Structure 1
Amino acid sequence: MKIKFAASGSASGSIAVAAYDKATLTVVGKALDSDAGGAITRAMKASRFTGKAGEIVELVAPSGVDADRIVVFGVGTKSKVDGNGLERAGAGLVKKLLTGGETALTVSLEGVADSEGASRFALGCRMAAYRFDGYRTTLEESKKPTLKTITLITDDEKAAKASWKSWEAVADGVDMARDLVNEPPNVIDPPQYAKRVAKLADTGLEIEILGEKEMKKLGMNALLGVGQGSVKESQLVIMKWNGGKKGDKPLCFVGKGVTFDTGGISLKPGANMDEMKGDMGGSAAVVGLMRALAGRKAKVNAVGIIGLVENMPDGNAQRPGDIVTSMSGQTIEILNTDAEGRLVLGDALWYAQKEFDPQFMINLATLTGAILIALGHEHAGIFSNDDKIADGLTKAGLASDEKVWRLPVGPEYDRQIDSPVADMKNIGEGRLAGSITAAQFLQRHVNGKPWCHIDIAGTGMWPGSKDARLPTFGTGFGVRLLDRFVRDNYEK
């Protein structure tokens, strides 16, 4: 979908105007209502439209106005209109019209949003327009998207265009993250995933790919153990963006990339196992973030690292009872091969701090089902050894509408992962504190670096959200959160 900005526009085709709470039209909306003989006011009343952000009322072929349809979208209380509300408004508008037959829409944001707000509205439009239809060959015409262009009328066209250039890069990053999660596992296996990321060199990212031979030399036996049951070679992909001052330590983001997770020898139940194609959602968020940072020429140095493996049952697969030596030199007793993501991340985190000495490390992973029990789909869980990072992510979550909730880590949980035969085991005590013990395991591989783990098992894959910005399944969660975290705290 193409987003354009203009200082004025024609009422031909379809036009959309905003309304605040209590169905209060803007100045432009009131003028349009007058031209339509009060039809907008009557339609709002008849449909119980209140002006809440995301609400929509539509008038088709209104008399007295040279427009195919008029759409009124709610933005909420006038004094409280913010970026998140504008995103929801834009998303609701696009969801309503995407397959309705209209190809172009003009939206009046005059007096409603400044240039930044207009960009957030456009971001909501882009997010709602996302589709994953590449494999659908018999889709009915009536279900195919028709809306191709949205023109946003703003008070400052030039400023809005400049602002959107940055936010459009974020939209591109979210789209890429969603595509990666939604791709079938026979298409996105570790080598093919790495090849797709390699194409991002065109954006200015420096890409390096390590195969199993290189990782074996580094001693990354925890990561390699997860993938040894697959015929697909495991990979470690490093993405570097050098947009900051030379010599400044980079920000580091690490993602779990299990392209398909059967559970290995500790085989998962068959029901819903197909969703485990999304067990690489953490890595997808890192890739989307790095694309966004490069696309908007972020003034930071950043490194993205993703560990890519396929966890399969096989005669060569890792067994419960195995003991492996991680890159850190610590030994790990494998008690459940379905607790594999922490093994991948442990080696990737150690590699990150050793090779790049970053300011901090933030890792993302669809790590535990326990986080769904604790927080549902509405918040990601964060676990950190650094209050500044945790506070910054909490604020960024509120600003981006990708919310997080901090849960504890601490030495009192260490006893759950202590092993009688190795330095640690890869699971805790049954169902107790499952997300926390997973984070505790990761903390043993950060070597004292400022660090935060984000468990996105509930937010990275969402089969049925009512938020118009979110598609079915792969949400791209983490791209907007981390981009906002970087913008607000590390760019000047």
Structure 2
Amino acid sequence: MSHPVQIRFEDSDKGDLTDLTGRIALFADAAGALSPMARKLDRAAKGALTRAVGSEAFGKLKPGEALELAFPAGLAADAVQILRLPKRTDAEAARKAGASIGAAHRDKALTVLAETHPRAAEIAFGLALRAYEFEIYRSGEKKDFGPVSFCVAKPEEVAAEAAPFAALAEGVFFTRDLINEPANVLNTYEFAARLAAMGELGLEVEILEEEELEKLGMRALLGVGQGSESPSKVVVMQWKGGAKDEPPLALVGKGVCFDTGGISLKPAVGMEDMVMDMGGAATVAGVMRTLALRKAKTNVVGLVGLVENMPDGKAQRPGDVVRSMKGDTIEVINTDAEGRLVLADVLWYTQERFAPRGMIDLATLTGAVIVALGDENAGVFSNDDTLCNAFLKAAAGENEGAWRLPLGAVYDRMLKSRVADMRNSCGRDAGSITAAQFLQRFVKPDTPWIHLDIAGTAWAKSGTEFSPKGATGWGVRALNRLIQDRFEG
């Protein structure tokens, strides 16, 4: 697993600051006002910090951005990072400031002079998110970050304020670790085992094996994985933090541990990125981990369908007809439209067993959503305006891009099959919408439902403000906030 930085909060009265080694980060407002600790450093550096914050370059910085002084005279530190961040700022700017520090953190020693900044916990959260690295398979010397020292006036209070953020960060990291793992490591066995281990956190975890899935009638899901040596599984995770008789919110994730496209084989170029095709299941797992760590006061159930889509003599073929757990028959037009087959059965099972008060599924489902929205926004589809608007508000509050796209009967007609109740693929036109229309057929009319197509947001080829290249952990923060705002009493 990855090893994110460890942050400790210490008293801001550190005495002689000139002996601090490694990197130092501090804050100044637009007028260039420095904190008392920063002024001590400035005197030792013969006014270098004052000159920096009075420069034209610092004046052009946006809130959360930084100016760096390398090897400042009079100090033992290798660099001083000065961030433009007034005390009166919003949470997003504070997190961005922390992310700027995290992105630059390359030393064993890092001291952040936050002192009396009211957003110190948010700054620490942003730092942790961006400092994450997944490098366990690199040979040779690896980054060995020591603990980050956050100097604040009231360390116990700030540490208490930061505790929920620490739980949230761990959920994000768990999601990223799962997505970043290569498929020869994270097969369906290993994925299920890592989820089962979360029983130690208070989650009730149950693994449904192929024999039981066959008895339940999950032939749509089983058809996807029948060409793989890794058996298909469904993992059920329950967090019971609310009233005993309170129906749960359900989170459902697509967990295709690797997607070759099956018999409808994908092009070789870029296929290595399909290690992330279990991103929906990973996000559900990360949210469930966060809820357990912070002891959320509500009931939530997370279900993930784990399969591998491989070409083989036993693999599903284009033209096959499978019967879903619901009883509907599906003509398989394209075996690379496999995620919706997995979700169809898990969505139906979720409603039959748990009768949830709301249901949200997540999947790296279509390339079409990337064509439509790029990697800045996930596609959002819903049958319930109230739940959908609450999610969009939560996503905006966490600065996780999400954009609602339409559903409608005109798209539903495109699913008509020649030989079955429906077909699984309708071609390129409105591809993400027809996929959502397919899923909606497995949602009961009285179940408030959201489908999140995260194909563009789960994985970043060039990194984001809060994550390096690879898995982003998109959705953990937004769903955690939705649960806090709407489902916890």
Q: What range is the shorter-chain TM-score in?
A: over 0.9
Q: Which residue of 2 aligns with 1:421?
A: 419
Q: Is the 8 A contact 1:119 1:160 kept in 2?
A: yes
Which residue of 461, 465, 480 maps to 1:483? Answer: 480
Q: How does 1:103-122 map to 2 (within 5 A)?
A: 103-113=108-118, 117-122=119-124
Q: Secondary structure at the match of 2:337?
A: coil
Which residue of 95, 100, 104 maps to 1:96? Answer: 104
C-alpha distance in 2 between matches for 1:180 and 1:332: 30
State the 1:35 CA deviation: 4.6
State the 1:41 CA deviation: 3.0
State the 1:135 CA deviation: 0.9
Q: Is the 8 A contact 1:23 1:51 kept in 2?
A: no
Unaligned runs of 5+ in 1: none
Q: Which residue of 1 aligns with 2:82?
A: 72
C-alpha distance in 1 between matches for 2:32 and 2:326: 60
TM-score (norm 2): 0.93
Q: 1:22 to 1:146 in 2, by over 3 A?
A: farther
Q: Is the 8 A contact 1:22 1:51 kept in 2?
A: no
Q: Is the 8 A contact 2:28 2:53 kept in 1?
A: no
State the 1:104 CA deviation: 2.5
Q: Which residue of 1 aligns with 2:57?
A: 48
Q: How does 1:191-340 map to 2 (within 5 A)?
A: 191-340=189-338
Unaligned runs of 5+ in 2: none
Which residue of 36, 47, 64 maps to 1:38? Answer: 47
State the 1:211 CA deviation: 0.8
Q: How does 1:432-471 map to 2 (within 5 A)?
A: 432-448=429-445, 449-467=447-465, 469-471=466-468
C-alpha distance in 1 between matches for 2:387 and 2:115: 37
C-alpha distance in 2 between matches for 1:180 and 1:349: 22
C-alpha distance in 2 between matches for 1:67 and 1:474: 32
C-alpha distance in 1 between matches for 2:434 and 2:322: 19
Deviations 1:232-282 (A, max 9, x none): 100000001111111111111000000000101111000010100110000
Deviations 1:143-183 (A, max 9, x none): x3243111223344232211222211111111111111111
Q: How does 1:363-442 map to 2 (within 5 A)?
A: 363-428=361-426, 430-442=427-439
C-alpha distance in 2 between matches for 1:240 and 1:280: 20
C-alpha distance in 2 between matches for 1:186 and 1:443: 33
Code of the residue aligned with 1:131 in structure 2: it is E
C-alpha distance in 2 between matches for 1:146 and 1:71: 20
State the 1:47 CA deviation: 7.8
201-210 or 1-10, larger mean C-alpha shift: 1-10
C-alpha distance in 1 between matches for 2:83 and 2:396: 23
Q: Which residue of 2 aligns with 1:84?
A: 92
Q: Secondary structure at the match of 2:115?
A: coil
Q: 1:111 to 1:265 in 2, by over 3 A?
A: same
Deviations 1:23-52 (A, max 9, x none): 554455455434533201333466823342
Code of the residue aligned with 1:20 in structure 2: it is D
Q: Secondary structure at the match of 2:473?
A: coil
Q: Secondary structure at the match of 2:319?
A: coil
Deviations 1:433-453 (A, max 9, x none): 111111111111011210000
Q: 1:133 to 1:65 in 2, by over 3 A?
A: closer
Q: Secondary structure at the match of 1:393?
A: helix
State the 1:420 CA deviation: 2.9
Q: 1:109 to 1:317 in 2, by over 3 A?
A: same
Code of the residue aligned with 2:12 in structure 1: it is S
C-alpha distance in 1 between matches for 2:95 and 2:478: 14
C-alpha distance in 2 between matches for 1:41 and 1:466: 31
TM-score (norm 1): 0.93
Q: Is the 8 A contact 1:333 1:421 kept in 2?
A: yes
Q: Is the 8 A contact 1:21 1:78 kept in 2?
A: no
C-alpha distance in 1 between matches for 2:205 and 2:235: 7
Q: Secondary structure at the match of 2:94?
A: helix
State the 1:431 CA deviation: 1.6
State the 1:68 CA deviation: 5.3
Q: Is the 8 A contact 2:219 2:323 kept in 1?
A: yes
Q: Which residue of 1 aligns with 2:6?
A: 2
C-alpha distance in 1 between matches for 2:146 and 2:40: 27
Deviations 1:173-208 (A, max 9, x none): 111111111111111111221111111111111100
Code of the residue aligned with 2:50 in structure 1: it is T
Query: Is the counterpart of residue 357 in structure 1 residue 359 in structure 2?
Result: no
Query: Is the counterpart of residue 59 in structure 1 residue 61 in structure 2?
Result: no
Q: Is the 8 A contact 2:381 2:407 kept in 1?
A: yes
Query: Is the counterpart of residue 474 in structure 1 residue 471 in structure 2?
Result: yes
Q: Percent identity at matched positions?
A: 49
Deviations 1:59-105 (A, max 9, x none): 34434557554321233x654x22222111111112212x2xx3232
Q: Is the 8 A contact 1:106 1:153 kept in 2?
A: yes
Q: Secondary structure at the match of 1:48?
A: helix
Code of the residue aligned with 1:37 in structure 2: it is K
Q: How does 1:119-138 map to 2 (within 5 A)?
A: 119-138=121-140
Which residue of 2, 20, 29 maps to 1:20? Answer: 29
State the 1:395 CA deviation: 1.1
Q: 1:311 to 1:463 in 2, by over 3 A?
A: same
State the 1:15 CA deviation: 3.0
Number of aligned residue pairs:
478
Code of the residue aligned with 1:118 in structure 2: it is A
State the 1:353 CA deviation: 0.7
Q: Is the 8 A contact 2:114 2:150 kept in 1?
A: yes
C-alpha distance in 1 between matches for 2:218 and 2:194: 23
231-240 or 157-166, larger mean C-alpha shift: 157-166
Code of the residue aligned with 2:6 in structure 1: it is K
Q: 1:164 to 1:474 in 2, by over 3 A?
A: same
Q: Secondary structure at the match of 2:356?
A: coil
Q: Which residue of 2 aligns with 1:177?
A: 175
C-alpha distance in 1 between matches for 2:477 and 2:309: 29
C-alpha distance in 1 between matches for 2:174 and 2:36: 38
Q: Which residue of 2 aligns with 1:153?
A: 151
